[in-house]
Amino acid sequence: MTARVRIETIIEAPLATCTAHLQTPALLRHVAAPLIGFISREPGGFPAVWEPGPHRVWMLAFGFLPLGPQTVDISHGDWSAETVWVRDNGAGLLVRRWDHRIEMTADGPDRTRYVDQVDIEAGLLTPLVQAYAALFYRWRQARWRGLARSGFRALSGG
């Protein structure tokens, strides 16, 4: 059984600014918190910027409840001045397929249209995971909008 979740929003920041932050594990960790925590399983921890390829992580619900190991498998295509996309075709113990695509497009000089789309396969748990994914991506997008309103201060330490 496969399910899909698609959620979109407008972020009040230029596409170039959103793109720069999207490429960092710091953004993922911020927008997912406190619903999901990520701890790198790689030697040396998280890179400053995501490189294409697999990244092994531990996932924690609410920052402390172990969800087990997960692979974040990053890829992206050619980006333009108007469109950016990143794909995480990851998997874990409970979820056999978590194929997440982020697409961002310029919506004017200081606005970005942001879309999360994820295809999920989790056996009998698929409907439950789908419902959670819808909540989770709404939460992430709200955190994105808050970061943009603050000038992304939480990611720069200032």
Region 80-106: mean pLDDT is 90
Lowest mean pLDDT among 10-19, 73-82, 96-105: 73-82
- Per-residue pLDDT, 80: 77
- Per-residue pLDDT, 48: 95
Per-residue pLDDT band at 68 (split at 50, 70, 90): confident
Q: Is 115 exposed, middle or buried (0-12, 13-18, 19+ CB in 10 A)?
A: middle
What is the torsional sign of CA 25, 28, 30, 33?
Answer: negative
Per-residue pLDDT band at 157 (split at 50, 70, 90): low
Tens-digit pLDDT profile for residues 114-155: 999 999 999 999 999 999 999 999 999 999 999 999 999 999
Q: How far is CA 148 from CA 47, 123, 154, in A?
A: 23, 37, 10
Global confidence as pTM: 0.91
How confident is the prediction for the chain on average, in pLDDT?
Answer: 93
Per-residue pLDDT band at 39 (split at 50, 70, 90): very high
